Chain A
């Protein structure tokens, strides 16, 4: 019983209870199903807050750990091992926070097969929480792959016209990366004798050349998920076809699984390789930043624009991670959250207008700020957050990342050149270009389309889905201390570990 009631088990598996309840409801009881899903996800969020309450921010180590032997035969050393630390607590909270919001956003948008939808959605939440909490590579992989399944259905059943193609592409692309990781995980299990992440880190001692191969295998899986340029080709398809709530979760949480993977596994498990690969990863990140920004600008479909902007934003995250100093890494973690909030909100907003007009072509809009002032104002704030306006959340992340990356370019830093941060900072200009372009296309200018003149402004439910996000957008922008406070000791420890391990390897 204690095991079941452990907060981490609860927060991970509580949505299953909702699934169970929904299973007993009829397909036609749509509202009941929606309420069950919403309440379940809200309770889950509450549990995650309880986790936060029990979390000791000054402790850099894993906390609230569960470590039960799971499969201990035939040379297997697999544990059911969960734990939370400064690297993951915020992502856990982001997951549980975005899920109810997404569910709320589907209230009228999803009217077909509501039951199935909510079941998949709650299952997805289980998978995502599990990914962020698992501390055993085997368990992690189980959760990691498991998230594919519900997302696959969410895209494939409730998506746009080309949904099946997008769903299969999403699944295969991600799986293609993760199977390589699977082999690397197996290698670690065989040669290090354990799958437990803390133990593997403590043990270390993987030869440098092997580290590099393992790093590549893990990195492939994560880079596809992030997605890093040039492995991003699945993203526009998946995003454009996915239903709004799916896009929110996809951008908000699923992509973070990739960056989190780098943070949790690639850096501490293979420190020498990480230091060696840092310039390469940084180059890819910077290309991603600039490329994503340029390509976003040339889109005509607003959802695609936002999708490509994710490539740019996550480029910043990757750059911060591979700056391998506290500023860069903390900025990167914060930017993961920021991107979840801002891009999540953008997708929600795009979904709202799509629900009204059934198109996302920017040429079909224009002048909406006049017709729907509230919608315009909210979008403006989110747009500004996304382009990193100081005072809002995006700036804090981008600034610290760039600052960190610049520092990593100093002598003694892992990047060894200021060009990375310099070029990445150009992305700040380009972000303004495409974001303002989008805002202008949708909201400014005269109302040129007759259909747009009678658009209704946001209703209370829609405002309620956006406002919580806005609260955090302002909060993080103005007073990020609590957020940094949660991650600081863990990041400090991790960075020190990577550096000392990499240094120790030097002749």
Chain B
């Protein structure tokens, strides 16, 4: 296999490290000038850094196009070289990674810009403007890490980014680390995300170990080149590799059973949810499987497992999304569900469909989250407006009461909203675009990508196809429910009544994203298949065959009808007769306990908590307190060793205190001294006793010699 050496390829590719450096430079600047720059400058620096990364990504795409899509590996720096282990900081530039680069930096830059406005209000709202630069530092760090993830030319470098984005996720979820439930809720959510991800990372690590000792390398090029041969020689190992990798995927891409962190991750500021927990980071797992396609295609067992996990997740979390009231939680579970679609796709071998959905999802889900952020801030503005009036009109005593109410008010609860389309028209329209795209209504982006997945599934894996179709139905339903609850009907609370539209710095990125969500389907329009041809360069290079299925009107029509039907159903429940204040959800009447299950997320968290977390805490305390300290440190060391020692010396001493066993002295020093004190009683001070000792010694020695 020939791999284009960087020397023989355009010098353009040498620019690739800058895709990481720009964000790093951005964050460094913001660290150095921490607190000395205005918010706008800080945001601009960060956005520019991200934008420059996008420029690099575009240049790479252009370069690849010039280079006929030939993959290129750009070595940069030696990293870990031990014996056969040869790991470098090297960049993989091929059509697959470039797609990811474009999505990450493109969507990322838009969200950066949006965040300039959003965070301006957020830091005021949270009362800590000093945190503003920190946000952009973390944001830039995230872009850098994500770039490492998608450009890495080896599993290990991918892993660097993989954990790096996890770190950013941790930092940004817990960005308002003194807020949330009991003041610590956000921090705990961040910690949960990191730890759950680490469980996945454990799988990834083991997969890497297996890979290295089976393939002799961790570089993509070498591993993929040997894939057929190794899969032949040791199929078991390769299955194990794919399964452990799947564990990693379930962690990062929030699949069953490790999805529990993603809903909690909504504790982060909304741009974070949009960028990290919807558009980019969580899709890393999909990217990993697509990247490892040359391995996966050899092991159907592994592929099946991935597909099933994806399908089940898609349906499972869709049911939960139906029962949520928090505007962001609905989107979060929707994200999990959509990730399930992608994972199922790449699992089935429909790599292009998976990547396609990844891209369109990045557009519309980022859009949805950002719009949701806009809604939330609109609500907060409304709330602020009321508080302002209260300040003017009411007496001090009432103000206190007001403040209490304000504390209880949740600007994210959809039950507090209603009729917002009048107050926030721009937000409404973009939100609607996103929702319809997500629901899979033609001709928006989501329709095409989802349709492609369903199409492939209908051919490759019927049970998973059924799971996905069911999930798609639920998707349309919960998005309809959300739209009607948030934007239609009458405002159910005062803040909703006074909600205000967001500034242009936020709405303009929204409009761009809405545009992308609308037309994103063109990327891989049936029949033209631009994306497929683009990605084919890479897959073909690694000898993965992509089978392209022709557009199937039957599948498309079915899914369209189903989507429209469930939107209609949503209208019947939520639109026709809008929810009143304090009224229970109409679904509760219909579904009863099932709805309770959906609402309570099927108690997965509770089960995990009970089965794993509590047990581990108990174990840790048991080990630390009983085993290590009381048993090993105190009892064993200070009692057993000493007591044994005492017993031993007791035999030696002639005039031991036989009146009962002495209380075992506490502590090494005292214990030993007690023993010594017993022995020193031999030294009575009486000469005759001393002589007796001598005499006894004589008798014993003589006796020994005579009766030996």
Contacts and interface: CB of A to CB of B under 8 A. Distances in A.
Interface of A: 165, 168-169, 230, 233, 236-237, 291, 294-299, 308, 325-327, 330-331, 367, 369-370, 373, 384, 389-391, 395-396, 399-400, 402-403, 406-407, 410, 418, 421-422, 425-426, 428-429, 432-433, 436-437, 440, 443-448, 478-481, 484, 488, 492
B469 to A, nearest CB: 36
A488 B82 CA distance: 7
B202 A425 contact: yes
B402 interface: no
B201 to A, nearest CB: 7
Contact of A421 (B78, B209, B620, B625): B209
B621 interface: yes
A370 B160 contact: no
5 contacts: A406-B210, A425-B205, A436-B170, A448-B183, A481-B79
A406 B212 CA distance: 10
Interface in B132-169: 156, 159-160, 162-164, 167
Contact of A429 (B83, B174, B202, B636): B202
Contacts of B669: 165, 168
Contacts of A373: 130
Contact of B85 (A165, A308, A327, A418): A327
Majority secondary structure, B binding face:
helix
A373 B130 CA distance: 10
Interface in B175-201: 177-178, 183-184, 187-188, 191, 194-195, 198-199, 201
Contact of B620 (A298, A395, A422): A298
Nearest to A433: B195
B184 A446 contact: yes
A458 to B, nearest CB: 14
B307 to A, nearest CB: 26
* The 5 residue pairs across chains A and B that have the minimum distance between CB atoms: A298-B624, A444-B187, A406-B209, A446-B183, A390-B160
Interface in B67-109: 77-83, 85, 89
A369 B667 contact: no
A444 B175 CA distance: 10
B619 interface: yes
Interface string B513-529: 00000000000000000
A425 to B, nearest CB: 5
B178 A446 contact: yes
A403 B184 contact: no
B621 A298 contact: yes
Contact of A399 (B156, B178, B213): B156
B49 interface: no
Q: Which bucket holds chain B's interface residue count?
A: 35 or more
Contacts of B82: 326-327, 330-331, 400, 484, 488
Contact of B202 (A418, A428, A445): A428
B79 A445 contact: no
Contact of B80 (A391, A400, A443): A400
A396 B80 contact: yes
Contact of B213 (A390, A407, A484): A407
Given A429-B198, A480-B79, 4 more contacts: A326-B83, A390-B164, A425-B209, A433-B616
B202 A426 contact: yes
A384 B79 CA distance: 19
Contacts of B183: 367, 445-446, 448
Contacts of B159: 390
Nearest to A374: B34
A52 B300 CA distance: 54
B627 to A, nearest CB: 8
Contacts of B170: 436
Interface string B613-642: 000110111011100100011001100000
Contacts of A298: 617, 620-621, 623-625
A396 B208 CA distance: 14
Interface in B315-366: none
